[in-house]
Structure 1
Amino acid sequence: MKVALFLPSLEGGGAERVNLLLAQGLKERGAEVDLVLAQAQGPYLSAVPKGVRVVDLKAPRVLFSLVPLVAYLRRERPKALFSSLSHANILALWARGLAQVPTQVFVVEHTPLKESRLGTISFRERAAHALLPWVYPKAQGVVAVSKGLAEELVEVFRIPRDKVRMIYNPVVSEGLFRKADVEEEVLSHPWFAPNQPPVLLAVGRLSREKNFSLLLRAFARVRRRVPSRLLILGEGQERGFLEALVGELGLSEDVSLPGFVPNPYPFMRKAAALVLSSRYEALPTVLIEAMALGTPVVATDCPFGPREILEGGRWGQLVAVDDEVGLANAMQEVLENPPPSEERELMRKVALERFGVDRAIQEYWQLLGG
């Protein structure tokens, strides 16, 4: 059985990491898997699982991948195509219609659509969102990665409820733990040497929705009370703004933005806490990864995902979105009173049970009739 996964590229992000895990899991169950990319570029190209074929449509933009995607579907005729991200999802459904093949198209939503429209998004994304109610019902199924996002698709975007399936992302795998054990980078980083102040960690694109400016302002409050440091792993269009803010707040000695790191897990395991400051998410993978590694977490109670993942605050502190003082207090609390080892061990087990790769792959396999 041939299965295709369609993505714009393999630039660093949660959806890209999830698709690589999905490709690996489907291949291990016996599927022939093609990773079809509008452009075969991005730092995760080197992480494509062995035996998964990369198909490069060589399109400068997702829109221009329509014709080569139609040609791919006619030539390869996969049983199913899983597409991720709204604009790519719409194009995948158009391509299947034009190709006139029996391929089943499943679209996977990774973004809270209503919340993202309140921010600065491109015309392309706004157009895609406007088309969802008319295009998504043509899919074989619509996968939402959290309960909140599934409800939004039904209630706000009028997708028929029987089309929508909630499947948590495949996140926790043996590979995650193996990567966390590779400690050379951490051991060589001066901040993680013995007798250094604790390090708070954030991981994600340097973009507006991640709200790292809030995190920096909150950390400035924390640092005045507790010796500590902040490491933000990621790259994006807000780098210049954030670097200027670091200087403005006088944090240059205690904040580092080293860019995208292919393997953040050794840092995650050694960090005093993982902090998520987002305005919105769908199912923030980094929270699950931190839980699986036993790292304390602090997160904004944004739509969607943090409240689901942390079960209402059972496994980490939740603070209101844009609450600078609340975020600072929560970070200070976890630095001064970290959860006991027994609590961390239980958190690890819960993460594996709820967000393990095997469970998610089984649910995707069922969509294929397996």
Structure 2
Amino acid sequence: MDTRPFSIAFIVRDPLPPLRADVATLFGAEMPRHGVRTELVGQGGSAGGAPWHAGGMHVVGHLRHRSAGLLAPLWDALGLLRAWRRGRPDCIQVRDKVASALPALLAARLLRIPFVYWMSFPIVEGFEARRDALAGRRRWLGWPAHALRAFLSRRLVYRLVLPAADHVFVQSEAMRDWLATLGIARARMTPVPMGVDAVLFDRGAIVPSQDPRLAGRRIVLYLGRVAQSRQSDFLLEVAERLRRQLPGVLLVIAGEAPSSDEMVWMRSLIAARGLGRHVLLTGWLPQALALGYAVRAEVGLSPIPRGALFDVSSPTKLVEYLALGIPGVANDIPDQARVLAESGAGLCVPMQADAFAAATLRLLFDHELAARCAERGPPWVAANRTYDILAREVARTYHRILAPCGPIR
């Protein structure tokens, strides 16, 4: 059995330093414990992030640059060269990038090392959704460029990159099933769903929020981003129905929007519906403060629109609720349905406002049911969805790919 350490040159789409837990925690904290070190390559742009002690970080270019999309493959090639100068990597891995994937694949073949693709989101379908949205709004000036990007991306990813990859990490079992229908061998795919950092989500270590607006209210929580693409106005439809039955309810939306325009959109909808006393939209919060609001909640909501973009996703928020002992109400995308079926820590309903409101009220009024759900969540997450658990499977996969002698134990 080969247990020597391995080094991965990892090109990421997200801004550096990394903020997402499936990069910062999985690769920054957990993978070094299994002998896997990471040389991160990408563009700058995040307003935070911890120093990278799991290898090296090679920031070339910035996502705020006007031509970042066009220049990213060149920047990533330069970043790969810098990573290579620190030592020959054992594999090259690309996460969610399209244009950078082909040169990375060619570099891996020249170096005679494996090429791995990490698909956390169906990026091609995202490009196609953007193209179709522009057409729907008749914004024809920008449409040709988006149409060309979608056309080329589909052929590059599904005809060249994924078939040639030595391995593909995917976001969920549903994503693996879907890619298998496109001809990608199931044996070359490993699902890695979203998880939580067990230390950060230790409820006993979280200081509850003392925001006076929470006093005397029945708190329902949405923890995550607000966006029109996520149909976040659905939350307000649920809030309207909740307040009819429970005037003291307060929906706390602890999160921000991807742009100031979308934040204005959400605040204007709250005002237009007269929900100012029943919906608290916090905006961006440091994680410690966001979790302080979370532990004051009795129920957590996770509505995810059905469709090609999100059916193959693995939402973090539901797992976070369960880790904190908060009963969840989620709709029936495959990963959420599986989590609730296995854990018994919440209720799974269609993404319909009446159904969400009814399930939420059931948990708010049925204290025995809510207590059972709250009790079941943390042990299920600890056994299945913490990053130390997920890291073991990811590490076994790397050692199988990079060390033909066999996986680690």
TM-score (norm 2): 0.78
Which secondary structure state, in structure 2, belongs to the residue aligned with residue 259 of structure 1?
A: coil
Given that 1:70 and 1:95 are in contact with CA atoms closer than 8 Å, whether structure 2 keeps it comes out as: yes
Query: Structure 1: 5+ residue runs without aligned partners?
Result: none
Counterpart CA distance in 2 for 1:299 and 1:69 is 38
Q: What is the percentage of aligned positions where both structures have the same residue?
A: 20
Counterpart CA distance in 2 for 1:28 and 1:126 is 41
Post-superposition offset of 1:365: 1.1
* 1:308-345 deviation line (CA, Å, top 9, x unaligned): 22127832111213x12111212222222243545422
Classify 1:240/1:127 alpha carbon distance in 2 versus 1 (closer, same or farther; 3 Å).
farther
Residue 231 of structure 2 is aligned to residue 228 of structure 1: no
Given that 1:80 and 1:368 are in contact with CA atoms closer than 8 Å, whether structure 2 keeps it comes out as: no
Post-superposition offset of 1:268: 2.1
What is the identity, as a one-letter code, of the residue corresponding to 2:273? Answer: L
Given that 2:195 and 2:316 are in contact with CA atoms closer than 8 Å, whether structure 1 keeps it comes out as: no
Given that 1:90 and 1:136 are in contact with CA atoms closer than 8 Å, whether structure 2 keeps it comes out as: no
Post-superposition offset of 1:101: 2.5
Counterpart CA distance in 2 for 1:138 and 1:96 is 8
Which secondary structure state, in structure 2, belongs to the residue aligned with residue 162 of structure 1?
A: helix
Match among 12, 18, 23 for residue 19 of structure 1? 23
Given that 1:206 and 1:239 are in contact with CA atoms closer than 8 Å, whether structure 2 keeps it comes out as: yes
Counterpart CA distance in 2 for 1:12 and 1:211 is 29
What is the identity, as a one-letter code, of the residue corresponding to 1:295? Answer: I
What is the identity, as a one-letter code, of the residue corresponding to 1:46? Answer: G
What is the identity, as a one-letter code, of the residue corresponding to 2:249? Answer: S
What is the identity, as a one-letter code, of the residue corresponding to 1:64? Answer: L
- What is the match of residue 273 of structure 1? 299
Counterpart CA distance in 1 for 2:209 and 2:51 is 27
Residue 35 of structure 2 is aligned to residue 30 of structure 1: yes
Q: Higher mean Cα deviation, 167-176 or 245-254?
A: 167-176
Given that 2:162 and 2:184 are in contact with CA atoms closer than 8 Å, whether structure 1 keeps it comes out as: yes
Which secondary structure state, in structure 1, belongs to the residue aligned with residue 190 of structure 2?
A: strand
Residues 59-70 of structure 1 mapped to structure 2, 5 A cutoff: 59=62, 60=65, 61-70=68-77
Match among 118, 127, 136 for residue 162 of structure 2? 136
Aligned pairs, how many?
A: 357
Which secondary structure state, in structure 2, belongs to the residue aligned with residue 310 of structure 1?
A: helix
Residue 368 of structure 2 is aligned to residue 347 of structure 1: no
Residue 63 of structure 2 is aligned to residue 54 of structure 1: no
What is the identity, as a one-letter code, of the residue corresponding to 1:160? Answer: A
TM-score (norm 1): 0.85
Classify 1:216/1:114 alpha carbon distance in 2 versus 1 (closer, same or farther; 3 Å).
farther
Match among 283, 304, 313 for residue 259 of structure 1? 283
Classify 1:125/1:316 alpha carbon distance in 2 versus 1 (closer, same or farther; 3 Å).
farther
- What is the match of residue 231 of structure 2? 211
Counterpart CA distance in 1 for 2:319 and 2:242 is 24
Given that 2:219 and 2:252 are in contact with CA atoms closer than 8 Å, whether structure 1 keeps it comes out as: yes
Q: RMSD in angstroms over aligned alpha carbons? A: 2.9
Residue 264 of structure 2 is aligned to residue 240 of structure 1: yes
What is the identity, as a one-letter code, of the residue corresponding to 1:334? Answer: L
Classify 1:313/1:333 alpha carbon distance in 2 versus 1 (closer, same or farther; 3 Å).
farther
Query: Structure 2: 5+ residue runs without aligned partners?
Result: 1-5, 134-145, 400-407
Match among 208, 212, 225 for residue 190 of structure 1? 212
Post-superposition offset of 1:136: 0.9
Classify 1:11/1:89 alpha carbon distance in 2 versus 1 (closer, same or farther; 3 Å).
same
* 1:28-72 deviation line (CA, Å, top 9, x unaligned): 3333322222x22224x3245545533212143244221232233
